[in-house]
Amino acid sequence: MTLTLILWKIWRLALVGAWSKGRALQAVRLYQDGSPTEALAQVAGRPGVRSKVVSAAIGARRDLGDDDARAETGRVARKELAEASTGLRALELIATIAPLLGLLGTVLGMIAAFKALQEAGSRADPALLAGGIWEALLTTAAGMAVAIPASVALSWFEAVIDRMRRDVEDAATRIFIAPKPPTRPKLAAAAE
């Protein structure tokens, strides 16, 4: 189940453009160079988090006042990053619970081993105790074998999402500090 969740999360992050940022960066550069229409064309309809936020920032900056545009861009960024984070809580839970379940199995195995030792009385066989302890420790090893990959994957996914968050913040900031491109008068645009 943990492996399936890790593979699913890699696939989901690939779908939201976790490792591709070229078009979004190109759109930001185009916007900074005074070409908002071309910038929007670069990211229009793209599924990536960076592209969606850049598109929202450019559109909001064009259509809204600065405060409202910043609020709208922040809303879109929070929504997209929250969707990118889907599944991380499950991995965190697995990384936390798996060693505890392994430890519980060890404790229960040790209880059974000592009970068997007690029932054997004076004719106790050390092999009986060793076999019970060996079985009990298997559950701890199994718990760690599940928790370690889950924990490593969780840390990696969080780092990928943090990098996306920094990229989104950088792109939005660059869009908002760029000079606002002149807008065409509505009468002239309507005449065309």
Report if residue 5 sits inside a domain: no
Cβ atoms < 10 Å from Cβ of 58: 27
Residues 14 and 79 occupy one common structural domain: yes
Q: Rounded to an integer, what distance in angstroms lies between the CA atom of residue 54 and that of residue 146?
A: 38
Residues 80 and 166 occupy one common structural domain: yes
Report if residue 128 sits inside a domain: yes
* Domains contained in the chain, number: 2
Domain limits at 19? 10-86+160-181
Query: What is the pLDDT averaged over residues 151-180?
Result: 87
Query: What is the pLDDT averaged over residues 146-173?
Result: 89
pLDDT, tens digit (0-9, with 9 covering 90-100), for 80-136: 888 888 888 888 888 888 888 888 888 887 777 777 777 777 776 677 667 677 777
Report if residue 187 sits inside a domain: no
Q: Rounded to an integer, what distance in angstroms lies between the CA atom of residue 189 and that of residue 168?
A: 32
pLDDT, tens digit (0-9, with 9 covering 90-100), for 43-72: 887 888 888 888 888 888 887 888 888 888
Residue 56, pLDDT score: 86
Residue 128, pLDDT score: 67
